[in-house]
Structure 1
Amino acid sequence: MRIQMPGSSLAPRTCIVCCATFLGGPSAKYCPDCRIERRRETDRQHKARKRAGKSIIIGQTVGRCEKCGKEFIYTAGAQKYCPDCSEEAIKEKDRQSGRGWLKRAVEKHGRQYADDRNADRRVGRTTCIDCGAPLAPGHSANKDYCPACQRLHLRYARYRTDCKRAKRPREPVSYSAWKEGNR
Structure 2
Amino acid sequence: MGEVLNVVVAVAVIVFIVRWATSGKDTSSGPSPSTVLGFRPKNVTVDMVDTVHTMFPDIPSDNIRYDLLRTGSVQTTTNTILERGFLPAPPPAYYTLYPRALNSTDTAPARRGPTPAAASSSSSKSKSSSLIERYNLEDRVALSSGVEARTPEEAAGRAVWEENAEKREASLRERKAQMILAARQRLLAQQAKEASSS
TM-score by length of 1: 0.23
The structure that is helix-richer by fraction is 2
The structure that is strand-richer by fraction is 1
